[in-house]
Structure 1
Amino acid sequence: MSVSTTRLLLLGAVGLFEPVNGYQVRRELLSWRVDEWASIKPGSIYHGLRTLAARGLLLDRTLADDGRDVVVYQLTEAGRATLEEAIVAAIVEVNVFDRHAFQAAFGLLPMLGTERAAQALRTRRAGVHAKIGHILPPADSDPYAPPHAVRSLELWKSFAEVELHWLDGVLADIDAGGLSFAGVGRWQPPADDPGYQMVDDRARYLTELGRDRG
């Protein structure tokens, strides 16, 4: 399935930290520098969350939070299914000229778990390997091709070869047990990381949502 990189990132940020408010999603995504490599404007994040809620992919609830109303978001069942399918698709569908969707999906692989993530990465590795040989035209096949254009394709081929080498390292780390996508594993944020505040907020939001359902 095809899901835009923006939608993938928004659903993924909610899925990783739910229940979470819009400001926290914005802060988290900007810490991933999505405004630089994914061309996501910070102000569009709030509108995107509202749109996903209107389409039934997110559940939005207004809660009282320290004297102010705040909208918190969670994935719906349809949103979770859409997100997981989109992560797999962005990993396995290889475009050697555009890796934005893959970059987004790789950061969301904990949503899949290690086994499913590794399977998707192996599929991608095979796809990258198969396409490397087709980036450059056969030698002397087009005597009219501008030399600078061929040089440009050589650069794309080099990028693909680097990715292949990088994927080999990632898969080797997974097989050796040094890399896991089953939660945070051995990694922990520093004590002053704002993510710790998100943990406290999440616990409070869950309590409030439980009261509302009761």
Structure 2
Amino acid sequence: MFVLGALADGGPMHGHKIRTAAQVDRVDLWADVKPGSLYGALRRMADEGVLEVVRTEQEGNLPARTVYGITRKGRAELSTLLRATLADTTLRPDPMQLVLLHRGAISDEELLAAIRARRESYDAQLEYWENLRTEAEPHLTGLEPVAFDHTLLRLRAEVEWHDRLLAAVADQQSDAGSSDEGSSREQGE
């Protein structure tokens, strides 16, 4: 979707220019685009007919670069991908659910330490994104502010959920400690 969108919006480009555009737009924040896989993806997409080789360019002593453009089939594919993404409201499974189901395999102390570390990580990410939003604010256009807000809301929800989880684990430990004391008293009587 990223490659097709970049070529649809920016016209024909070679891979290096697409990578540079991705870095300028900070696409790594929004999508899982690996720079090393871009060139293979371009060739594969050309083989599939969603891209076409427009020309080869060479500047000075730099290696020749293949310039790709989006085809009619590629524009149709981009529209399909955009619509599919808009329609997909699947809540992806979170492996943390499995951790909580099988938590008996690790100690309570290890569980609490890991939850605290996760919470701190989400909090640090939230701070990073809040600062990034502030820096980017003067340059944001169109729906970009709302995209930032989506990420901020998701991170705030993770921090809040981890706070609730920490409280629930602490309550459970406290309840277990109370029942252990009651059981010890009953055995002593």
State the TM bucket, normalised to the shorter chain: 0.3 to 0.5
TM-score normalised by the chain length of structure 1: 0.39
- Higher Rg of the two aligned structures: 2
- The structure whose RCO (Cα within 8 Å, separation 6+) is larger is 1
TM-score normalised by the chain length of structure 2: 0.44
Greater fraction helix:
2
